[in-house]
Structure 1
Amino acid sequence: MIASFRTLALLGFLACVLGMAFALYLEHFRGFEPCPMCIFQRVAMIGAGLVFLAAALHGPRGFGRWVYALLAATVSGIGAGIAARHVWLQSLPEDQVPACGPTLDYLMDMMPLTEVVRLVLEGDGNCAVIDAQWLGISLPGWTLIAFIGLALWALIAPVLARRPGW
């Protein structure tokens, strides 16, 4: 049985909630301190979750489904881009890793937002540290996989939805 668009959007939202719950578990119960790029990935995960939630609550028909799908896919794509940059930083040889920088809180206090975003996306030595791996893939690698899955789910949901009018 193929589900309704609302149900499919709700599943996308729940995937984002699980992703955020896991990130918070790692931070608060396992002691992994998120680097600035990790925080930006969390913002993208929350953004994708909010788009999926809005789609589930609204339950659009026809073209409206594609609007939500493209919004969720775009936010997930932005998250995937940040995660890919993070994975790239982690793959650099040790002598090419950028120097460690100040914390995100300090940057936000001292600089305009656009400059903070630019600096964080450049990355620093904190972002190149691999704290944990599973199956040989680092946490940002798994986040990249999750964002790709969310983007694909967003684009598949309007197609899988039972009938155009439901």
Structure 2
Amino acid sequence: MTTHPKRGSFRLQFFLGFLACAGLLAYAIYLQLHDGLEPCNLCIFQRFAFAALGIVFLLGALHGPRSRGARVGYGIGALIAAIAGIAIAGRHVWVQMQPPGFASCGAPLSFMRETMSTWDVVRKVMTATGNCGDIDWTFLGLSMPWWSLIWFVLLALWAGVAAFRRG
């Protein structure tokens, strides 16, 4: 039994996308548990976006759709998750670029969940009012939100190439 080469290629590309998301989440958790870097509210939402993107990648890899329409559907799902991540990471980068004390994240997410509606929590976190402006970690001169933004863009492109190519 032979598999269609495009189908296998889609499966492999989406599985590699899943592994990238899982690796990024694992590294963030490692930094939190091993190095004591506590995530801010925008970091938590970026983790949710990476998890959502990873789930779409995993589902697409497991399904390995034969039809172009189904591949495009998975691509659209991945792009939606990646665009959400781009928006959140972009907001976080913006917060970090502001003068100290100008923008922050607000109360801890657990406290906000207990005292506010879901919509109010999302609105509050996205308007950043706590420690999101702090830069506690850098690699090659870029903070973690910058790297998240770069990875969301790369993974969006990766999903687009896998899902929207002809074949």
TM-score, normalising length: structure 1: 0.91
Tell me what 2:144 maps to. 139
The runs of 5 or more residues in structure 2 that have no matched partner are none
Q: Secondary structure at the match of 2:95?
A: helix
Tell me what 2:96 maps to. 90
TM-score, normalising length: structure 2: 0.91
Tell me what 1:78 maps to. 84
**Could you tell me how far apart the structure 2 residues matched to 1:82 and 1:72 are?**
15
Tell me what 1:10 maps to. 15
Structure 1, 32-41 or 56-65: larger mean CA deviation: 56-65
**Could you tell me how far apart the structure 2 residues matched to 1:6 and 1:101 are?**
41
How many corresponding residue pairs?
161
Question: Cα gap change, 1:103/1:125 in structure 2, threshold over 3 Å: closer, same or farther?
Answer: closer
The runs of 5 or more residues in structure 1 that have no matched partner are none
Q: Which amino acid aligns with 1:89?
A: V
Q: Is 2:72 the partner of 1:66? A: yes
**Could you tell me how far apart the structure 2 residues matched to 1:12 and 1:45 are?**
10
Question: Cα gap change, 1:42/1:95 in structure 2, threshold over 3 Å: closer, same or farther?
Answer: closer
Q: Which amino acid aligns with 2:23?
A: L
Q: Is 2:54 the partner of 1:49? A: yes
**Could you tell me how far apart the structure 2 residues matched to 1:93 and 1:132 are?**
18
RCO higher in structure (CA 8 A, sep ≥6): 1
Tell me what 1:116 maps to. 121
Structure 1, 42-51 or 122-131: larger mean CA deviation: 122-131
Q: Which amino acid aligns with 2:146?
A: G
**Could you tell me how far apart the structure 2 residues matched to 1:90 and 1:57 are?**
38
